[in-house]
Amino acid sequence: MSGTSLDGIDVILSDSSTSLPSLACTYYLPYDKNLRQQILELHQPGNDELHRAAVLSNELARSYAEAVVGLLTKSGVSPQDVIAIGCHGQTVRHCPQPERSYTLQLGNAALLAELTGITVVSDFRSRDIAAGGQGAPLVPKFHQFLFTDPKNHRVIVNIGGISNLTSLTPSGEVAGFDCGPGNLLMDAWCLRHLGETYDHDGAWARSGKVIPELFERLFELEFFSLPFPKSTGRELFNLSWLEGYLSGMEKPEDVQSTLSQLTTLSIAKSLLSHFPSAVEVFLCGGGARNTDLVERLRAALPMKRVELTDVLGVDADWLEAFAFAWLAQQAMAGAPGNLPEVTGARGQRILGAIYQA
């Protein structure tokens, strides 16, 4: 998995020999600055995009292959013992609007299969979009499989570049949607002003103060009040969007604090509005390691138990990669991978294109 945050590649080895899969091994390969910049540049219109996208897809495939080799070397597992690679690819466009809906993830899956000698499942989102869905979020079906509790209403909050919620009721009802920016605005602002790719423990945000007027203007964006199903990405939430609300007189640390508050309250208000009966909230994704963000969420949800998915037995850092390994397993078994009640698709669909080794 290489997500909206553009920090690098998360790779996990999933052992599916028992009824519930388990994390057998994990590996992380950071993006180098040049690769990250190339990906960022393709998020905006530019010269010779088709060629640049194709070349970058090949480069990403080689990076994915390097990450897979690193994982297998670490685990001592042979490529011949791996059933398949579930490769989400790097999203550079996500446009689920009716009449012109499409999604685009870079990463040459055919080349990845050649480089690793392992079957690859990729392009998970397109089939759901073809069926009238948003193509995202797709992880709620895995959350349902792994985390549904017969007694307590739970909400799983994934805080990656974008934040999304999964509601799991004891009766088996599932709902979920993207609720707003997760780390991506904070990361971009931090990189611009501190030269760091993320705000360690949220310390910089904690040093600033929320700017109420700025927060209110940002939170007036129509996306936050739209009903679900809904999904979003870097097309909407980016530095250009943020700069349209800045005077230039703000202290950078105060803007960072405001962005942290935007992430916090877009999660908390969505949860309280749509899933008020939830008693447990479990966090995953890179934002779950941001102690300032977690403290703000606990303050915004005082009547809820707020923990990391670590307490459920799955490391918060690896849950999304784990989910796409499971979605690959579903594809190989010819089983559905989407939840129509989450994405808005016309029905359950088998997700992913399979490139046999």
Q: Would you say residue 4 has pLDDT above 90?
A: no
Q: How many residues are listed for the chain in this entry?
A: 357
What is residue 28's three-state secondary structure?
strand
What is residue 316's three-state secondary structure?
coil
The mean pLDDT value for 149-168 works out to 97
Token digits of residue 160? 């990656």
Confidence of residue 19 (pLDDT cuts 50, 70, 90): confident
The mean pLDDT value for 67-94 works out to 96
* pTM to 2 decimal places: 0.95
Beta bridge partners of 166: 156, 176
d(CA 322, CA 275): 25
pLDDT tens-digit readout, 330-352: 999 999 999 999 999 999 999 99
Among residues 325, 259, 255, 287, the alpha carbon closest in space to that of 165 is found at 287
Token digits of residue 207? 């040093």
Beta bridge partners of 323: none
For the chain, the helix, strand and coil percentages under 3-state DSSP, each to the nearest 5: 45, 20, 40
Name all domains of the chain by residue range, CATH numbers in brackets: 8-135+318-355 (3.30.420.40), 140-312 (3.30.420.40)
d(CA 276, CA 235): 30
Strands 90-95 and 162-168, how do they pair?
Answer: unpaired
d(CA 243, CA 123): 33
